Structure 1
Amino acid sequence: MTAVVFGTLPFPNQGGDQIVSKAVSAAIAALFKRTGKVEAMVRAEPVAKLLQGSVDGFDFIGNGMLMYNGLRIEGMELYVQAVSIDFSAIFKGQVKLRQPTQATMRVVLAEEDLTTSFNTPFVVEKLQRLEYEGQALNFQKTEMLVNEDKTLTLRSQVKLGKSGETIDLDMTAQVEVEERRKIQFTDVKYQGDDKAKSLGKALIDHVNNLLDLDKFALDGTQLKVDRIRIRNKELIFYGIAKIDRFPERKK
């Protein structure tokens, strides 16, 4: 019976799990401006459960994912728990959850991704909300380095207000997670003269206030990070994603 039903669908010679897997892959890829490999693998046993929208879970693996705000993710893995979906929406290119679900996640940011992110208009605009001694700041040539001792180094050239005075910032810090949602630079070591150190401290305080995952999560999701690992020039986050509804790309 299942073969007869799926044989009449607009995807000949494909099982229901393959159909849903392709739809989920396409829906996730649509959330990003550009992606490398993106693949979702739906688990349903028996496959007939899909007709009622019941899925045992699905695994998602993607890499080279560029968000519309310019931020790039080297790799992402999601392992979604059992979930109930609206099967009819699949053929409209949509994924609709009938109830909230949860996924374990692993997200990888490469050193190059971190540097690129700090130079996107999306992040630069947030950095430049900071003022120093009443003067506006202009950040240039910002770079983030992932060091062998598992610290991060942040460097930037900052021009002060209309005077055009340039201050070179050079700071090295540990990175930790607080309250499972706040990424924080800690044990910071500042280089340079007193002015550079003073501005550096103000910048770190500002950045720590910005790095709240609730501000970056896709619509309908909530991210919780349990552990951060640094290795091979990469920053790796492990945690969970609570998904109330499948996110859609904002128009």
Structure 2
Amino acid sequence: MVSALFGSTPFQNQGGDALVSQVAGKAIAALFKRSEKVEANVRAEPVAKLLQGSIDGFDFIGQGMLMYNGLRIENMELYLQAVAIDFGAIFSGNVKLRQPTSARMRVVLTENDLTTSFNTPFVVEKLQRLQYNGESLHFQKTEVKLTSDKALRVSSEVKIGDADEPVHLDFTAQVDVEERRKVQFVNVKCEGSDRAVDLGNALIEHINSLLDLDKFALEGTQLRVDRIRIQSKAMVFYGSANIYQFPSRQLQKKS
């Protein structure tokens, strides 16, 4: 019986589903530098199925999750069905999948999350790979706003080469997804001087080349987005996560 198995473990006061929920929640939380709230819930009926590593479903909800690269996620929800795990690995605090699985996914980013992301060294370094007329670019004070007409507005001060005065970038774009993995800025409108408009268009092309989810996925996972919605000052992604092995903290260096 499950109770007999747990009777000789440090988790003797917990059922098998509670134990797996705790370990899985801690393992996912460890992928982030900081989390305001983490909840994991394993479903198995009867609980004895866990001894064979069989789980009917697994739900995860996280809030205020700060990644190690500085990016922040306001809310993340994952819903898995029929997961097969190595139950023995749970006792060492690890989650190992016996076979690949997939999860329904909902991710929420606020205006502040987007602004913070565009100002992290992780993103700034990628933006500054773009050269304009053979000169380097230096981004400062980038700000992201979500407009009432469900668009994204980005403003930034950009120094070109050794210039003393920055060029003020200001553009508005809608957000779309191609091939379920490429987030794209579309229907772009750039404001300002001719130089600012030209630089803005070059930057949009560069950003669109970067926003491939395969470049940002954690090791052993594949993210796919079905739709993106802008609502209540937040950008919401709906899609799926294909999980081939439980991810480690380290991001793959694909970009």
**Fold similarity call, TM over 0.5:** yes
2:196 aligned partner: 196
Alignment-derived partner of residue 28 in structure 1: 28
The normalised TM-score by structure 1 is 0.98
Residue ranges of structure 1 left out of the alignment (5+ in a row):
none
Kindly indicate whether residue 182 of structure 2 is the aligned counterpart of residue 179 of structure 1: no
Report what 1:153 is aligned to.
Answer: 153
Runs of 4+ in 1 over 6 A off after TM superposition: none
**Counterpart mapping for 1:170-249 below 5 A:** 170-249=170-249
The aligned length equals 251
Equivalent position amino acid for 1:91 in 2? F
- Amino acid of the structure 2 residue aligned with 1:138: H
Q: Does 1:65 align with 2:65?
A: yes
Q: CA RMSD in A?
A: 1.0
Q: In the aligned structure 2, how far is the partner of 1:134 from the partner of 1:13?
A: 65
Match of 1:47 in 2: 47
SS of alignment partner, residue 92 of structure 1:
coil
Q: Deviations over 1:134-171 (max 9, x none)?
A: 11000000011011110000100000101233100000
Q: Structure 1 counterpart of 2:155, which letter?
A: R
CA apart distance, 1:250: 2.6
- Name the stretch that deviates more: 64-73 or 158-167: 158-167
Q: Percent identity?
A: 68
Shift of residue 5 of structure 1? 1.6
Per the alignment, in what secondary structure is the counterpart of residue 131 of structure 1?
A: coil
Unmatched runs of 5 consecutive residues or more in structure 2: none
Counterpart code for 2:168: D
Partner of 2:16: 16
User: 2:102 aligned with 1:89, yes or no?
Assistant: no
Partner Cα distance (2:58, 2:140) in 1: 42
Query: Which residue of the partner structure matches residue 37 of structure 1?
Result: 37
Are the equivalent residues in 1 in contact too, given 2:2–2:15 (CA < 8 A)? no
TM-score, with length taken from structure 2: 0.97
Per-residue deviation, residues 14-63 of structure 1 (Å, max 9, x unmatched): 10000000000000000000011101100101000101111111000001
